[in-house]
Structure 1
Amino acid sequence: MPGPWMTGNMTSRLGSPTRSLLNPAVSVSLLSCFLPTTRIMTQARTKVLLTGATGYIGGTILDRFLKRPDVDAFEWTVIVRDPKKAEIFRTFHVNVVEGSHADAQLMEKLASEADAVIAAADCDDLVAAKATLAGLKKKFEATGVAPIFINTSGTGVIAEVASKGLVASDLVYDDSDAAQMATIPETNIHRNVDLAITDADAEGYIKSYIILPSTIYGVADTRFTRARIQNPHSIQIPGLIRASLDRGRAGMVGEGKNFWPNVHIHELGDLYSLLWDGIAGDPTLGHGRAGYFFGASGEHSLYQVGKAIGEAMVALGKTDNAEPTTFTKEELDKYMQGSTYMGSNSRCRATHSHSLGWKPTKSTNDMLASIPPEVETLSK
């Protein structure tokens, strides 16, 4: 488990820009913005705004942070639409604002009051991202300290959509290679939001860090899923399972030769916590255009996923052949809005993430083993 942000001689671990903040003339609120563990001396807490708390990723992030030994160093604010869920969230000692991250005025206001924002809602909502940035800019202008913005993107941003399941690409992105990451086409999915955030970092009024989860799997087991206020399931693989069950045969785009990375939901939650530690403990940690972190621990082909679904369907008596077949054009229209996106290639190395001490242990075999229980659940 990651420990507190700092121990021992605090000033010996700081870069010169941070040491300058220790001038007594600097207010406690500014100091606590940059150094959350100054609560040891001042009892100030870092104010963190989290979006997507009822979602698969966001709820898992919050649950992971609430397990940290320095849990009292944080003051959390979450945005929840459902009043009933909001009431339950309050029992977990977090501040709850009833509303939506799609409300630009609300997002700007809440971001302007936060020391850090962790966005885990809609990674394609440019309006919400710009509102968040506007609020964080106000925070910077009021304090002179750049607040932290941890955004959740996705490895879809590096997807080669022309593959259509027919080929395995040899293009592999490395999150520690800022020059290579800068070559990602501006027209790719998620990219417009990512660029707005890194541009803001370049302007100097935020420090941005972007985590890019891959194909996430596993049922989230958190205090929030147990309270039935968080979605416990992923989207990608369950969507493919539903389509396969409906057509009576496991399906794939093209020949399923394309590759995607994968990660277990709880190991992804660990990455957010370790990134938080890295931001405080390593003043040289890359941010902005050098601040990408892939959430990926294994790699699979779409054929492998289709075959695992097919085998589970055979075991349940839902089909007599485990071999996946190609979705027809009509089926793509029915199940995937006509898109061949699931046949794209998205390949990466999480070198930057590993440099934080992130050591995921689950593999593609674990991902494939998670499919039969999902098929059984969704077949009922």
Structure 2
Amino acid sequence: MRVFVTGATGFIGSAVVQELIGAGHQVVGLARSATAVAALQAAGAEALSGSLDDLASLQQGAREADGVIHTAFVHDFTQFAASCQTDIQAITAMGDALAGSNKPLLITSGIGLLRQGRLGTERDAVDMQSAGQLRAPSEPLTLALAARGVRASIIRLPPSVHGDGDHGFVPALIAIARQQGVSGYIGDGNNHWPAVHRLDAAKLYRLALEQAPAGSVFHGVAEQGIATREIAQVIGQQLNLPVTSVAAERAAEHFTWLAHFFAMDVPASSSLTRSRLGWETAQPTLLQDLQQGHYFD
């Protein structure tokens, strides 16, 4: 297949590109800069110049491809509403370009959009009243494309997609621990984060692209839920810092923008994903990855 990938030079997208090429697919990546073009060409992919807010380039990429994987998102949490609107517009544009084609369109969503404090499954709809409610509409928008002749499906990723080169939530926790002089967790630290290694996630994207029927939802979850206290303990050990509880009322002061995310309790299953696609995980767990030390170099 000729596959158009947004976010193709990002932490997750670059792993998806390598997974697709390794399986014999051709890849065209969306590229915002000359640096991105060079990176894609070095990886063995083609580049299409454009960006998430350049809807014409997105539609061109989608029309000329046999399938689309959308991993890009503007991770500026100070402008979260604008980032979510950009995402909605991008999905709409690519969906319009693919209408009636029965080609696959695979978008990225988040486990954190599910209801908190219970085990989430692929059958659960996103909580439209969640703290991330501005991003939640991307899911019903995507699922509705099935009625327009698009083989649309969703991969929900956990709060931690980890591995060498990670620049997401876990590196932010490490930076906060260094700054504060303690590795903290909120309350009793018994709230749970699911996790997946980026290479295992990349394999899931490929399998979903190749196999998923329209309207499918998958969970890119290797670990159902890790207590945030355990994450803080490993960070403390690696940095030789004390590990301590931070009261909920002080969480925003201590963790700043990350407080909301580190307080999430969103354990999630991937049983249906594994049985439907034959997905198997083989990479280190989050705590094993942290103990290898590359997060602290």
User: Quick one: structure 1 residues 205 and 54, their matched pair in 2 at CA, closer, same or farther if it must change by over 3 Å?
Assistant: same
1:274 match: secondary structure: helix
- Kindly state the Cα deviation for residue 347 of structure 1 after the two structures are TM-superposed: 1.4
1:44-63 aligned within 5 A: 46-63=1-18
Superposition TM-score, scaled by structure 1 size: 0.68
**Equivalent pair of 1:126/1:193 in contact (CA under 8 Å):** no
Aligned to 1:133: 92
**Equivalent pair of 1:136/1:205 in contact (CA under 8 Å):** no
2:265 match: secondary structure: coil
User: Quick one: structure 1 residues 128 and 338, their matched pair in 2 at CA, closer, same or farther if it must change by over 3 Å?
Assistant: closer
Measured in 2, the distance between the counterparts of 1:111 and 1:258 equals 39
| Poorly superposed stretches of 4+, deviation over 4 Å | 327-331
1:268 to 195, 198, 201: 201
**Equivalent pair of 2:55/2:93 in contact (CA under 8 Å):** no
Q: Percent identity?
A: 20
1:216 match: secondary structure: strand
Instruction: Give the structure with the larger strand fraction.
Output: 2
Aligned to 2:35: 84
1:340 match: secondary structure: helix
What letter matches 2:5 in structure 1? L
Aligned length: 282
- Kindly state the Cα deviation for residue 244 of structure 1 after the two structures are TM-superposed: 0.4
1:313-352 aligned within 5 A: 313-314=239-240, 319=241, 321=242, 323-326=243-246, 332-333=252-253, 335-337=255-257, 339-352=259-272
- Kindly state the Cα deviation for residue 93 of structure 1 after the two structures are TM-superposed: 3.9
1:11-46 per-position Cα deviation (integer Å, ceiling 9, x unaligned): xxxxxxxxxxxxxxxxxxxxxxxxxxxxxxxxxxx3
1:151 aligned onto 2:126:
no
What letter matches 2:48 in structure 1? V
Measured in 2, the distance between the counterparts of 1:338 and 1:277 equals 35
What letter matches 2:271 in structure 1? T
Aligned to 1:371: 290
1:233 match: secondary structure: coil
1:302 to 221, 228, 232: 228
1:213 to 154, 157, 160: 157
Whose radius of gyration is greater, 1 or 2? 1
**Equivalent pair of 1:77/1:94 in contact (CA under 8 Å):** yes
What letter matches 2:112 in structure 1? G
Unaligned runs of 5+ in 1: 1-45, 161-168, 220-231, 280-284
What letter matches 1:52 in structure 2? G
1:249 to 168, 179, 182: 182
Unaligned runs of 5+ in 2: 75-82
2:120 to 161, 173, 182: 173
